[in-house]
Amino acid sequence: MKSRCNREGTERALPRSGWSSKRPGRAVHDPGGTMSIRNAIVTMVIALFAPGLAADALAQQRSEGPCAGDVKQFCGDVKPGQGAIAKCMKAHEAELSPACRESSKARAEKAERVREECRADVEKFCKGIAAGGGRILSCLKSREPELQPACAAEFKRAGNRRPRAQ
């Protein structure tokens, strides 16, 4: 543990979490900590946009593809929007047909590859955009010519040819 003198000149131990107190009762961020706020925000945004990628693909497969029957059987009464069908399918994951499970696994792997390859581009081009509703994907799509080659390749490979309607 680090120690720091307080106003009275006495030392007290502080955790190594990246937060320190320069005045009693106040905590300030120490940039030497394990994760900066900026990195935490970028990580959160990427974590939020990846499920949107899977939800888009799932919505496309509602009426066609290997999961069409499963969606109708388990989630036919679920109103689409905000990942509701994806959540329903996740809840019934153990009951899905083998073909649908394999398709879902492949979509999740694609989403993970896009998340990994596009992390820097999301931070660079989509920094102030709120996650959800396909907004991050739309942002990336609008900047497609400027994306890093690895991100652009994974983005296309994952089937993101057009953004979801806002």
Q: Are residues 23 and 104 in the same domain?
A: no
Q: Is the pLDDT of residue 152 over 80?
A: yes
Tokens 């890093």, residue located: 148
Q: Does any domain span residue 45?
A: yes
pLDDT at 161: 45
pLDDT digits (tens, 9 = 90+) for 88-140: 988 999 999 999 999 888 888 887 888 888 999 999 999 888 877 778 888 88
Q: Are residues 44 and 93 in the same domain?
A: yes
More confident residue, 37 or 122: 122
Q: Are residues 42 and 16 in the same domain?
A: no
Residues in the chain: 166
pLDDT at 162: 40
Q: Are residues 23 and 54 in the same domain?
A: no
Q: Which of 154, 149, 128, 150 is nearest to 139 (CA)?
A: 128
Tokens 């899905």, residue located: 96
Whole-number Å distance between alpha carbons of 107 and 66: 12
Mean pLDDT for all residues in the chain: 72
Q: Which domain holds residue 20?
A: 1-34
The domain total for the chain is 2
